[in-house]
Amino acid sequence: MPNGRETDREIVNHPSSVCVVPVDADRNVILVRQFRKPAGQFLLEAPAGKMQPGEVPEAAAIRELQEEIGHFPGRLQSLGVFFMNPGLSPQCMHAYLTTDLKPSELDADDDEFIELRRVPWTDIPTLIAAGAIQDAKSIAALLLAMRVLGDN
């Protein structure tokens, strides 16, 4: 500890991750609906995933978009980096916005069962406030994207 005292702590070492807010030309956000076993339910989320060893965040963001929504980002804009749960894990989340999407081949992981949902950008604040989006990383990335895109 900073004061020199020793203490026991549970620490979960998990790779850093990326989360991308993809907005299409019609100002729809492409979200994924997928079953999350630890939560015991389907959640509506921004495309996201962990970084592979040695992978830079931008490359992970591109890979995750292709795996989860079948699009390639023409341009990625960093929204910032934040800790997911700093009391438990050193995992950082790198958040990005892309508004220049290009269709690509969907390269889905075998263990992911994903449904795509196109949501009008203007509906995002209401969905967050109503609890329809409950995933913390997605909420954080969407709120950060509002600084860039506004909420209308």
Q: Dump pLDDT digits (tens) for 95-138.
A: 999 998 998 876 666 666 789 999 999 999 999 999 999 999 99
pLDDT greater than 90 at residue 7: no
Split at pLDDT 50, 70, 90, the class of 83 is: confident
Residue 3 lies in a domain: no
Q: Looking at the 3D structure of the chain, how many domains does it have? A: 1
DSSP 51: P
Domain range for 98: 17-149
Most confidently modeled range among 5-19, 26-40, 83-97:
26-40
Residue 57 lies in a domain: yes
Least confident of 14-18, 27-31, 41-45, 143-147: 14-18
Give the chain's mean pLDDT: 89
* pLDDT for 4: 78
Residue 4 lies in a domain: no
CATH number of the domain where residue 67 is located:
3.90.79.10
Q: Compute the Cα dihedral for 33, 102, 98, 48 and give only its sign.
A: positive
Residue 144 lies in a domain: yes
pLDDT greater than 90 at residue 29: yes
Q: What is the DSSP string of 105-152?
A: -----TT--EEEEEEEGGGHHHHHHHTS---HHHHHHHHHHHHHH---
Residue 115 lies in a domain: yes
Residue 80 lies in a domain: yes
Q: Compute the Cα dihedral for 53, 57, 62, 68 and give only its sign.
A: positive
Kindly report the pTM of this predicted structure.
0.89
pLDDT greater than 90 at residue 1: no
Residue 10 lies in a domain: no
Residue 8 lies in a domain: no
